[in-house]
Chains A and B, each alone.
Chain A
Amino acid sequence: MMNKKHLIILILVIGCVLTLVCWPQTIVLRIGIFAGSNWDVPSGDCYVIIDQSIERFEKEHPNVKVEYESGILKEDYSQWLSEQYLKGNEPDIFMILSEDFNTLSYLGALKNLNQFIQEDQSFDTQQYYKSALQAGKYQDKQYALPYESNPTLMFVNKTLLQKEGISMPKNHWTLDDFYKICQKVTKDSNHDGVIDQYGCYNFNWLDSLYSHGARLFNETGTECYVNQSSVKDSISFIQKLNELNQGHNITSHEFDQGQVAFSPMPFSQYRTYKPYPWRVKKYSNFEWDCVKMPSLSLTQNSTQVSSLLMGMSARSHHTQIAWEFLKMLSYDEQTQKQLFQYSQGISSLKSVTQSKEALLLLNDESLGDSQVDMSLLNEVMENTVNHSQFKKYESTLNLLNTSIQQIIQNDEEVDISLITLQKEINQYLKE
């Protein structure tokens, strides 16, 4: 009697376990995204690309359901993601802000994708622009893939240049050319004794550094190379530029009024303000366009690119599906093409950025006379510089920024200041 009872219970338990194991389970994949644009420009269709990708993905994988929490603002996103991590509740796939990437990689919070990349035959890293892919690398491990890239271009006030009889600079131009034009345009145009026309707005020491092709840190972030000639040259160049303005600090108002010839401008801003309707709102009283950033020599990489990365949680339970979806967002041409349509950045995939559809989209938006075409973008993306990735990168850069701004502002002796600064920073890095 007892035996029979036991047998029935045993069979029931085994049955339950088998049903549980064999039942077609719905895998829920959670993703973390934020509302709005990563590049702080107005954006209306922030969820369109994600929604469509999810739809396609769920069609391809019928047992997978992709979920995300909507309405998280970009400024809250970092905090939100950190909280989810602490609560052990982080999504499987999520966007990573560039300031968070190093910390998360250091903490081991991100899944090392090297193995997926190696095993996945359909995945080829060569498809990405090298620097965009590099942005998701932390100490030789690929922790994230670029979702969207945003290179920095140089805004040119065409009207102002025309007035001064200067031809529009070509895409291949050097810092010398840049300085010469700035020198030419800086003057007192209404002859009231005060300079009211300026060369460049917002061209900071980092832009200069990239143009000079200098590296600040070694790969692992244990040493800082601030005290080297290229850094000195970069700072001297900024000092030289500032001297042109005779101590005047150019305001954004003056820039908006068209009194400034140049300013570094992210591609996302170009994409936003160049076409209608935003073009009537900003920079409407003059003609403008963008060119590549000037470089020290014609062969040197000069552009900074910022990337929006997407990574996978190290604790994800569905890594293979998550990898598939990560590929759908980052590597799928259809998704990446939509970036040109609904977002402001550009794809990190060579094939998409070079494609005809993207070209058509861009040309439709601009007024046709723009110098920004796909070949320029391609070239810019190929020639971008990367910075080293290590945990203290953001904080060290902040320290450096403050000190160097001070050096520039106070017009200090660069040589001596940099020696002390390098010592301080090295000390900080070793802590």
Chain B
Amino acid sequence: MNKSYFRSLTSLRTFMILLNLVIVIFNGTIVLLTTKYIVQNGLARDFLDDISYIPHHPLFVFLGSITLFCILSYIIYHRGEKIIENKKMNILYSGVEFIVCAMIIYLLYMGYNGVILLVFCDCIYHLKDDKYSKWLLAAMVIVYLFASYDVFSIVVPMTNVSQYMVVYDASVRGMLMIAKNILETCNLLLFIVFIIVYIAEQMQENENITKELSMIYQVNKELKDYAAITEKIGENNERKRLAREIHDTLGHALTGIAAGVDACIAMIDINPSATKQQLQVVSRVVREGIGDVRNSLNKLRPGALEKHGLKGAIEKMIEEFSNVSDLVIELDYRLDHVDFENTKEDILFRIIQESITNALRHGGATHIDVSLYLEDNMLYLKIKDNGIGCDDIHYGFGLKQMKERVAIVNGNVEYDGHNGFLTVVKIPMQRGENYGKSVDC
């Protein structure tokens, strides 16, 4: 749209330049040839009586006006080709165009002021939303009003070029007047068309801006909706996380307690002192559970991990499980030279905790092997129990949680329900985590 608009304005301007060139040459030729005619016909003395000021050298008028017009068109084109970003240069160009135009009009004895329209068009074309442009255009309108012989000759005496036509007889004079009027009217029409196209474009542009604004409004609204959804998702995630925490801490502790209490119920009649000891263990597990819950509430970070490091935390957990049940848990920890970030530690810890809980709760296992090692720059966590296993794996909350957790650190989890239950976690190592030399490969 914009391109075609520029093309139509540019071609209109080119037409105007050509037409004005023709008019300038026409006026210059009239001065030149009429002078010759006057001299040849011996009308010079009477002509002097008719005019109001001594004319310039006719050749000077002719060549001068054409040369100045060529300069003007050069400036217009030069300006057209090089889009001038500089505002000051733009104003300067307009000023120069304006001065050259005034000189042309003066040279042609104010007989033709349509050149101003051309300069006007060119300035409108270039100075779009400039604050000086308004003043410049206003000045041009004023000059256009005053740039007629009748007004200007009151201030500056000058030859009345209309007398050049009067020397001819009526028929020739009529033809010349018709030609002159047609040319000038054409120029005016071109000017009007130019302005119409220009204004139409301005309106189109305004419409486009309105459209774009409404589009921006629409996008804005969508963004707002999206933000609301994101908030909801966040809330949901938080809820899930809380559920996870409760499941991991409280659920785990309660399972231990239930198992411990069950053992007590079974033992209390046989061996009260051992039961007492067992109850003390249960009591400790309850307190730790409380501490875990508190920690979860505070930092959502396992307290054992915080206190003892990953290995310590795991050993502690295994000890706790061994204490409250008849489980035998063997830990094969081969990550002495590895330093994990907290998230990873948390995840590993939780997965081990979850797997042991599952093995105890669902598999009824009595022996669990937990091994942690590095291989091919991958961290492997294998938890294998001797429980009943399952043929097709049911993704409960715990398993899903595990998967999600591992996914956070780009790892993956594999389960195998045959022959007991096997959980294999693979997490890629990151730079800087492995600082030891004796890494087992």
Contacts and interface: CB of A to CB of B under 8 A. Distances in A.
Interface of A: 78-79, 82-83, 85-89, 100, 103-104, 106-109, 314-315
B35 A82 contact: no
B88 interface: no
B38 to A, nearest CB: 6
Nearest to A99: B45
B55 A86 contact: yes
Contact of B54 (A78, A79, A83, A314): A314
B53 A79 contact: no
A88 B48 contact: no
Interface in B18-71: 35, 38-39, 42, 44-45, 47-49, 51-60
A89 B38 CA distance: 15
Contacts of A87: 35, 39, 57-58
* CB-based closest 7 A-B pairs: A88-B57, A82-B44, A109-B54, A83-B44, A82-B45, A107-B54, A83-B39
A329 B157 CA distance: 31
A108 B57 contact: no
Contact of B56 (A78, A88, A106, A107): A88
Chain B contact surface mostly: helix
Contacts of B55: 85-86, 88
Contacts of B52: 106-107
Interface of B: 35, 38-39, 42, 44-45, 47-49, 51-60, 157
Nearest to A391: B49
A86 B35 contact: yes
Given A86-B38, A88-B60, A107 B53 contact: yes
Given A83-B39, A86-B35, A88-B59, A78 B53 contact: no
Contacts of B51: 107
A85 B54 contact: yes
Nearest to B51: A107
Contacts of B45: 78-79, 82, 100
A84 to B, nearest CB: 8
A86 B53 CA distance: 11
A82 to B, nearest CB: 4
A315 B38 CA distance: 21
A371 to B, nearest CB: 40
A431 to B, nearest CB: 13
A86 B157 contact: no
A63 B212 CA distance: 78
Nearest to B45: A82
Given A103-B49, A107-B52, A108-B54, A86 B59 contact: no
A86 to B, nearest CB: 5
Contacts of B54: 85, 107-109, 314-315
6 contacts: A83-B44, A86-B35, A86-B38, A88-B56, A106-B52, A107-B52
Most buried by A among B39, B48, B51, B52: B48
A89 B44 CA distance: 13
B56 A86 contact: no
Nearest to A394: B49
Contacts of B60: 88
Nearest to A82: B44
Nearest to B55: A86
B276 to A, nearest CB: 110
B73 to A, nearest CB: 26
Nearest to B46: A82
B38 A108 contact: no
Given A85-B54, A108-B54, 5 more contacts: A79-B45, A86-B44, A87-B57, A87-B58, A88-B58
Contact of A82 (B48, B56, B58, B59): B48
A86 B58 contact: yes
